[in-house]
Amino acid sequence: MILLPAKKSHPLSEQSRSLRLDILEMINTAGFGHIGGSLSSVDILISLYNTDIFNFDKDHFILSAGHICPALYAVLAQKNKFPREELLTYAQFGSRLQGHLNLDTPGVEYASGALGQGLSFACGLALGDKNHHTVCLTTDGEHDEGQIWEAIAFANKFHQGNLINIVDYNGYQLGGSTAEMMPLGELASKYLHFGWTVTTVDGHNFYELENALKKAKSSSIYPACIIAKTTFGKGISFMENKSEFHDVKNMPEDIYLAAKNELQKY
């Protein structure tokens, strides 16, 4: 067993903290937002956009779960795709940063919102642009959608070695835990049987994420799935693993302040 350095020492740890705070500020200002999934997925996005494994000026990134856009907006602002101040316009009238993704946001390649479509779009894009990689981010809850499984079969048929699907496996969705809503069973072996390569990682560990992304990129004919085990609401203890924090409306000030206090120490 290889002992990995502690997470805190990773150079991206500071971003993990500051972008969480950005997400909280966006959602608090808007009085709306999907906070649980944004906090579970943000480290995956930081890893994608801050390692030199992919260059998303040429490679493609498709966020299939459009509701966790606060996390993507925070990362894109950090990459200077648009001014950081613009984050506070999230979900407001006239903003480029819509409540679910749209194409007017610089750096957004696919406008999603209805679940289950992004992986199919990624399959088409990877087929049409074989010179680059297409990375898709889906969620475990999204695998309830039948269309996801149509896409998984498709990627196998067309030997899409340039396609990577990262599953943000946070275990929760709007109505409860994914296990309770519609159990996924052995997701890794399902992907394997559909002809994909699969790696399971801690979705908050930048070392594991980077290694898995490198491995997935090196696949030649097999589409690659990375199951990123994450914590729903990661970083705010009282939101963690609580499906009622799938989305928040008009966050009470004490909740906001308590959340901010925790994230400042994250």
| Residue 228, beta-bridge partner list | 168, 201
**Interface pick for another protein out of 44, 48, 69, 123 (rule CB under 8 A):** 123
CB-based contact 51:61 (threshold 8 Å): no
Q: Does 109 bind another protein (CB under 8 A)?
A: yes
Looking at the Cβ atoms of 150 and 247, the one nearer to another protein is 150
Looking at the Cβ atoms of 148 and 216, the one nearer to another protein is 148
Q: Does 151 bind another protein (CB under 8 A)?
A: yes
CB-based contact 154:125 (threshold 8 Å): no
The answer to whether the Cα torsion of 258, 239, 263, 21 is positive or negative is negative
Q: Does 137 bind another protein (CB under 8 A)?
A: no
Looking at the Cβ atoms of 160 and 205, the one nearer to another protein is 160
Write each residue from 157 to 186 as x if it is in contact with another protein (CB under 8 A), else as -, in one continuous string: -x----------------------------
| CB atoms inside a 10 Å sphere around CB 79 | 13
Looking at the Cβ atoms of 36 and 66, the one nearer to another protein is 66
Q: In angstroms, what is the minimal distance from the CB of 148 to another protein? A: 9
CA pair distance 233, 109, nearest whole angstrom: 26
Q: In angstroms, what is the minimal distance from the CB of 156 to another protein? A: 12
CA pair distance 95, 85, nearest whole angstrom: 12
Stretch that binds another protein, among 21-29, 83-91, 106-114, 233-241 (CB under 8 A): 106-114
Q: How far apart are the first and last CA of the chain?
A: 27
Do β-strands 163-169 and 176-177 pair in parallel, antiparallel, or remain unpaired?
unpaired
Stretch that binds another protein, among 26-34, 71-79, 104-112, 208-216 (CB under 8 A): 104-112
Q: In angstroms, what is the minimal distance from the CB of 115 to another protein? A: 10
Contacts of 210 (CB under 8 A, 6+ apart): 47, 51, 53
Q: Does 107 bind another protein (CB under 8 A)?
A: no
Residue 215 has phi, psi (to 5 degrees) of -65, -45
Q: In angstroms, what is the minimal distance from the CB of 116 to another protein? A: 8
E strand spans, the chain: 32-33, 60-63, 134-139, 163-169, 172-173, 176-177, 197-202, 224-229, 248-249
Q: Does 95 bind another protein (CB under 8 A)?
A: no
Stretch that binds another protein, among 9-17, 119-127, 178-186, 236-244 (CB under 8 A): 119-127
CA pair distance 86, 237, nearest whole angstrom: 28
**Interface pick for another protein out of 5, 83, 94, 146 (rule CB under 8 A):** 146
Looking at the Cβ atoms of 127 and 255, the one nearer to another protein is 127
Q: Does 113 bind another protein (CB under 8 A)?
A: yes
- Residues near another protein (CB under 8 A): 102-103, 109-114, 116-118, 120-129, 146-147, 150-151, 153-154, 158
